[in-house]
Structure 1
């Protein structure tokens, strides 16, 4: 199954209030494994960068001045996203900005049926704990050494690792046979296909049973004998 983990950096917190996306990073997963395919773009928001936002991601007006506008990269972005489920942390925020920008370009919105929110999953799986990306990386041993500022592609790569752990770890990708998939509901109310093997029964041969009996008869004062006589 193909999924896209993505993150955005913006000029602020409110798209209706005039804030815009300035960076988007996307990471492709196939059966919960990063394929190495990514999409990354910086965008000129067409408005000044507030100091509060600059302090979070370090993207200045000067740096963004020669970058394309969102509508200039939208086709490449949509081609990369395809119709895959979209994974984000606090996904309503990123979906709000993404759909806002798509609307300005006259493109259809990404529906809520495509949304997978790792924040919601983390709140169910670890109630009462901290659920920031930094906290979840620390919980699952994901290396944060390169994260000095927020960056969309780096954060998407970190989140992809966290998402794998939140949804069962790497074991879920280790199926070695084409058994019938079983649908299991996750805390984020989306379905994950997991291969479940039927149990295999191995009967001992007559020769093996005889050897086992001979081995047991040679044990002096076995514990199970004492328990049985008691």
Structure 2
């Protein structure tokens, strides 16, 4: 399906914490398309069925009294699925929002990964930083709330769709999803004694040690280290020297 024909729905949640233990306290949906301006589809507070930790309230400023008497996620979920229908779902850090919600049966796109691919030189890739970096002038209401964040993400995603096509990538939804999910090259070591040092300047034996001994490397970092080692060991490579 061509991008202009696709229906995209941005999803944003506010929660009591991280998945899988965290629970949703607010959910918002905003529809957007390549040529369709963002439109609010749905927004609701949700009773998580447990106290909201103060650390979570400090982020979204939703407290227990705000969700008292509100429906549970299971009660609104049939309505949410009706709004989603045949849409491709979009979220900024889709792994998080997808992990907070029941399975939808619909494909997801991570707008943060798209931004990292399309604009590697952006100062940061959070939706609010991208909002100002891209010069997006939009009224979003309360900050750090599901609806406001969903509106910002919808505008960012629309810019991403246009940048993606302008860069000459295939005008196809599946190709866009594949592009977003493809590895993102990490340029510098994010931890340890070589933190901040370009991977290309780190000794191959140390990179190999990291691959074999450090647990829970992100797929992007693992791929980037493997790529750095391959480059260093190739006939034209210079080898790490840090």
Q: TM-score normalized by structure 1? A: 0.66
Distance 2:82 2:58 in 1: 32
Can you list the C-alpha shifts for 1:167-200, whole angstroms capped at 9, x where unaligned?
A: 216x98xxxxxxxx9548333159xxxxxxxxxx
Counterpart of 1:201 in structure 2 is none
Q: 2:143 aligns with which of 112, 135, 149?
A: 149
Counterpart of 2:232 in structure 1 is none
Give the deviation of 1:146 after TM superposition. 4.6
Structure 2 gaps of 5+ residues are 1-5, 183-242
Q: 2:12 aligns with which of 2, 7, 17?
A: 7
Between structure 1 and structure 2, the one with the greater Rg is 1
More strand by share: 1
Counterpart of 2:110 in structure 1 is 117
Between the two proteins, the alignment pairs up a number of residues equal to: 170
CA RMSD of aligned residues (A): 2.6
Can you list the C-alpha shifts for 1:96-116, whole angstroms capped at 9, x where unaligned?
A: 1012xxxxxxxxx234x6111
Residue 157 of structure 2 is aligned to residue 163 of structure 1:
yes
Contact 2:17/2:56 (8 A) holds in 1: yes
Contact 1:56/1:149 (8 A) holds in 2: no
Q: TM-score normalized by structure 2? A: 0.63
Q: Give SS of 2:48's match.
A: coil
Distance verdict in 2 for CA 1:146–1:110, change over 3 Å: closer
Distance 1:37 1:48 in 2: 28
Contact 1:122/1:166 (8 A) holds in 2: yes
Q: Give SS of 2:101's match.
A: helix
Distance verdict in 2 for CA 1:188–1:42, change over 3 Å: same
